[in-house]
Structure 1
Amino acid sequence: MALNFFDQFMSPVFLGVPLMALALTLPWALLPSPTSRWINNRLLTLQGWLISQFTLQLLLPINPRGHKWALMFSSLMIFLLSLNMLGLLPYTFTPTTQLSLNMGLAVPLWLATVVIGMRNQPTHSLGHLLPEGTPAPLIPILIIIETISLFIRPLALGVRLTANLTAGHLLIQLIATAAFVLLPLMPTVALMTAVLLFLLTLLEVAVAMIQAYVFVLLLSLYLQENV
């Protein structure tokens, strides 16, 4: 029977009940919760230091009015990172390979940055649609192009995250299948394939971390333009 490599991206169902909600809430259950003590353990101390450094680097170029988004950006980064990393474990499901979930995260957050810009500085926000010094004949064309580029931002956010994770998971499954098939036929080639699979898995761990960071970084850049 031929295997369908896209079955791994189907939403898991148990007794007819979709388990997407369980996959989304699992990262929060695994994260250690802070305590009221002055001195925490090493894991909580390292976690707090990493979050503070990430937030500092992310919000450094943003206007102080945009620093209210610090908690949201940090939570979103940890959430996406946990989902991406947990999806690399065997017998798990990666919710961030679903375009619907990624668009559900990208569209409201992008729209919030646009609404903030239109409310606080409408002239400056609308000025992005037409660069200064544009010749009069090019004004309608540039306005259309800039409007399309503005509305394509959330699509690019969601598709980028989905495509990178989907391609990586497919490649891992293809190489793993090839290693199992080649093992009884050509053990040496199967061993080399297994080494390649290990290196690809390490690359996918890096991709999972980078894509979560890029998603939040692009949102912070959109916010920077509107505050």
Structure 2
Amino acid sequence: MGAGALAGAVLAAAAPAALAAEGAPTSLSSDDALAQLKAGNARYVSHPDICALDIAQQRESVAAHQAPWATIIACADSRVPPELIFGGHGVGELFVARNAGNLVDTATLGTVEYGAAVLGSPLIVVLAHTACGAVKAACDVVAKNATYPGAIGTMIEPILPAALAARGADDYVNATAKLSAQRTAARLPASSTLISGLVNDGKLKIVAAIYDLKSGVVTYL
């Protein structure tokens, strides 16, 4: 607990540049990082056979220090692995937080703050996907008054405002998924002074996107 309190005090007091201890952050800008993700997804869609990784060499090169150039808030869905759908990126490149519905709770917010403020990642992508089970559950709560056991109902509550706003859309579940990702991305700066400070200084960009399970294409919203 003492170490955790000290780390919190350091995060609160230190400038972002001073937080990238034990090595330099990425030299990529936010726009460079976004271009890398777009190019990687295009490669994944058109030539998935070349998305091979030399994991052993990469593991050795990043063992002492990480400098990820993009932070991805993704769904836990097993069909949406960010490292693969963005072009076969290996260890040390993407800083990934995953949960059902690509939501931002306290743990996820702390994770993306660490990625941006400590590791120097210049880009955050809130990545939704088509046919999302968590989003469908939220839509069923709104449209069918459905209920879910355990913590599932509580977990999907942040999606309900998007499900209410998208009700009546032709593609209800996917429209809700898009809107929920956009709302999450828009709320991040308001939820964190660390993140808002980096955004205001031009050191961090936040975007929302959706991955199509059938085509493999990531579309930015």
**Fold agreement, TM-score > 0.5:** no
| Higher RCO (CA-CA < 8 Å; seq separation 6+) | 1
The two structures have a TM-score, normalised by structure 1, of 0.29
The two structures have a TM-score, normalised by structure 2, of 0.30
**Greater strand fraction, Structure 1 or Structure 2:** 2
**Greater helix fraction, Structure 1 or Structure 2:** 1
Look at both structures and tell me which one has the larger radius of gyration over its CA atoms.
Answer: 1
